Structure 1
Amino acid sequence: MTTAAEIREVAAALPRTEEKLVRDRVTFRVGRIVYVTISADETSMGFAFPKEERAAIIAAEPDKFHMPRPSDERYNWVRAWLAALDHAEMEELVVDAWRMVVPKRVAAAYLAEVR
């Protein structure tokens, strides 16, 4: 099981990340682009994910992943139940979501540093 505190720790370590509270949800963003949110009740996490691959990830693991709110379906976005995610999987999802919103050179520099 993953917690909001663990998500916060991973996201805070990513360059250019800012944490903001928006409508009772913790959001992590680069500039104006949000790449991860934590629900107000801390039971789920929304994250940037390629829209073209959304149906496949949800179909493969429907107990773990689910569709975003109808108002967010137009975005590159998926949601996951925190109770179903282990730490390594959450970390991979958060870093991949962050990589979608930062310049490629920033992502490459960060990944080269952590390896």
Structure 2
Amino acid sequence: MPDADDVRRIALSFPDTTEKTAWSMPTFRVAGKMFATLPEKETSMAVRCPKAERDELVLAEPGKFWVADHEAFSAWVRVRLSALEDDGELTDILADSWRQAAPHRLLEAHPGLGLASQ
């Protein structure tokens, strides 16, 4: 089961990613744009997710995904780290969020970033 240290290790392995404390929690940014946070005493993470996909995820796996009240109108979803199967699943989720925040130049340079199934 992945934990906050795994989130940090994997997130920081992506190109041009930094960690910055904001709102009293660790946040991870690519080229200055936030793509993941470690709220809830670091037992969960928040990642970027288009609203339509987010709603499907929450309905399909409510034990794994949920939307915090203050994020209901934004494109973020929460993920319970204890519900993830392994580092591969964590990597895929973080990579998808990274791709949503990364500038075009990084997307072109790293088209297959983080796809554990490859």
Q: TM-score, normalised by structure 2?
A: 0.86
Q: Which sections of structure 2, spanning at least 5 residues, go unmatched?
A: none
Shift of 1:41: 1.0
1:82 match: 81
Aligned length, in residue pairs? 114
Distance 2:29 2:88 in 1: 21
RMSD: 1.9
Q: Percent identity?
A: 35
The answer to whether the 8 A contact 2:38-2:44 is kept is yes
Aligned-residue offset at 1:103 = 2.0
Question: Structure 1 stretches of 5 or more lacking a match?
Answer: none
Please list every run of at least 4 consecutive aligned residues from structure 1 whose deviation after the TM superposition is greater than 3 angstroms. 111-115
Partner of 2:49 in structure 1?
Answer: 49
Contact conserved, 1:3 with 1:82, CA < 8 A, in 2?
A: yes
Give matches, 1:1-115, under 5 Å: 1-67=1-67, 69-85=68-84, 86-111=86-111
Q: 1:40 to 1:60 in 2, by over 3 A?
A: closer
1:42-98 Cα deviation digits (max 9, x unpaired): 11110001112111100101111111x222222210001000012111100000100
C-alpha spacing 1:107/1:35, structure 2 compared with 1 (3 Å): same
